[in-house]
Structure 1
Amino acid sequence: MSTESIFQTHLVLGYVAWLLCFGAYILPWLTSIDRVRAHRAIAALHSFRFFGFVFLLPGVVGPNLPASFATFAAYGDLAAGLLAMLALLTVRIRQVFWLFVVGFNLVGMGDLILDYYHAIQAGLPARAGELGAAYAIPIIYVPLLMITHVFAFYLLLRPQPKAIQALAGETAVP
């Protein structure tokens, strides 16, 4: 089996495994709590995206990892992670919190989509060994990030009853 086939199989199975886990455990929990708490949980997960900066660390990734992929992925992840941290820090200032929630989801999802594009353009699936120790990021972590971005947008775009909107603005954050 080729390197490209193994990488693509791993990527697809990463999505399948996370969709099963998300549907069975995470989705029921996120839908049982209010929107602010759900977005805080998603932001907490995404706040660890600073780890994507490892794509620029020699010795962790191979010397031939395409820079067209690595640089964009590293800085995109860093930006999304910092925006997620800012959302967590501003949860008590609701208008600012929502601004950062929208920001980290737009930047984060855009980053992932562009990372897929850059990876394909650079032929990364056939050179997946160049990811070195960072191989787990696109296989294990990225599918969960993408799934949670999609769910975050669902929560953001879903209409809220007026009574819930009023309560959400008045309640204190636990």
Structure 2
Amino acid sequence: MSPAMIFDIHLALGYVPWLLCFGAYAWPRLKAMDRLEAQRAIATLHSFRFFGLVFMLPGVVGPNLPAGFAILAAYGDFATGLLAMLALLTARRHQLFWPLVIAFNLVGAVDLVVDYYQGVQLGLPDLAGELGAAYAIPILYVPLLMITHIAAFYLLMRRRPEAVQGSHPR
């Protein structure tokens, strides 16, 4: 089996255990939570995306990792992480919190989609070994990030119960 095929299998199968775990444990709890608390939980996970800067760290990734992928992925993750941290810091100021929740989810989801696209365009599956220690990020971490972005968007668009709609905005 070629390294590219192994990488592609890892990318695809990385979603399976996270979807099973998320569906069984996280999703039922997030749906039952207050909207603000659910988004705070998701923002907390995404606040660790500053770690994506590792894609630009020599010695962690190989010298032949395409710069077009590494730089875009690193700064997209970094921006998402900072926006998520800002959202967490403003949770008590709803007029700031909700726009930051939307921003970190939009930036983060677009970042992941663009990273997948760039990875394919630049032949990343053939160069997967150049990810070095960062190999685990797209295989183990990115699927959970994408799943939680989708969940966050769903929760943002979901209608609130009538009793809650009449109260102050969150």
TM-score (structure 2 length as normaliser): 0.97
User: Aligned partners of 2:50 and 2:68: how far apart in 1?
Assistant: 18
User: Aligned partners of 2:86 and 2:167: how far apart in 1?
Assistant: 23
Instruction: State the shift of 1:33 in Å.
Output: 1.0
The equivalent of 1:152 in structure 2 is: 152
User: Aligned partners of 2:71 and 2:153: how far apart in 1?
Assistant: 26
Q: What's the C-alpha RMSD, in Å, of the aligned pairs?
A: 1.1
The equivalent of 1:143 in structure 2 is: 143
TM-score (structure 1 length as normaliser): 0.95
The equivalent of 1:36 in structure 2 is: 36
| Alignment map for 1:1-174 (pairs within 5 Å) | 1-167=1-167, 169=169
User: Aligned partners of 1:142 and 1:168: how far apart in 2?
Assistant: 35
Partner-residue secondary structure (3-state), 2:59: coil
What is the one-letter code of the residue matched to 2:2? S
User: Aligned partners of 2:28 and 2:161: how far apart in 1?
Assistant: 20
Q: Structure 1: any 5+ residue segments left out of the alignment?
A: none
**1:116-140 CA deviation, whole Å, 9 max, x = no partner?**
0110011001110000000000000
User: Aligned partners of 2:148 and 2:164: how far apart in 1?
Assistant: 23
Sequence identity (%): 68
Partner-residue secondary structure (3-state), 1:58: coil
In structure 2, relative to structure 1, the CA distance for the partners of 1:166 and 1:19 (3 Å cut) is same
Partner-residue secondary structure (3-state), 2:14: helix
Partner-residue secondary structure (3-state), 1:147: helix
In structure 2, relative to structure 1, the CA distance for the partners of 1:168 and 1:42 (3 Å cut) is farther
What is the one-letter code of the residue matched to 1:61? V
Instruction: State the shift of 1:167 in Å.
Output: 4.1
User: Aligned partners of 2:40 and 2:2: how far apart in 1?
Assistant: 40
Instruction: State the shift of 1:168 in Å.
Output: 5.9
Partner-residue secondary structure (3-state), 1:45: helix
Q: Structure 2: any 5+ residue segments left out of the alignment?
A: none
